[in-house]
Amino acid sequence: MKRSLGICVVMCCALIGLGSAIRCYSCEDYTGSCSEQRDCGHDGDACLTLIESEGMTHRQCLKYSDCKYSRLGQMFPRVSSFTFKCCNSDLCNSAPSSAASSLIGLLASVAVMWWCIY
């Protein structure tokens, strides 16, 4: 029992360490799909999805404090009209189809925690 508890503590500490830098998708395209990933590090603490009225989608890292329409307008001066979403969890600026993989990751984490407790 003590050995299992020790293993669970070590695993939890390792998982906590993984959250030190946010990871975002980083690309520009018209398809809305993106597979290029990037560790943000000092570039930001959030992920951005910005969609131009003409259909171009921008995905990148940014500082959450810059997640305002006026600030984004300064960062993208050639874009006249856009919608945007900022989020602060790993790969949260993905296309909607990958929401299932996030759910699978969450369920796997819960299963590991449940296994460690019992």
3-state secondary structure of 38: strand
Full-prediction pTM beyond 0.85? Answer: no
CB-based contact 57:50 (threshold 8 Å): yes
Q: Which CATH number applies to 22-94?
A: 2.10.60.10
In the chain, domain spans: 22-94
Per residue of the chain (118 residues), what is the pLDDT tens digit? 455 444 433 344 444 444 468 999 999 999 878 999 999 999 899 999 999 999 999 999 999 999 999 999 999 999 999 999 999 999 999 976 544 555 565 565 665 566 667 6
Cα pseudo-dihedral 33, 37, 40, 45, rounded to 10: 40
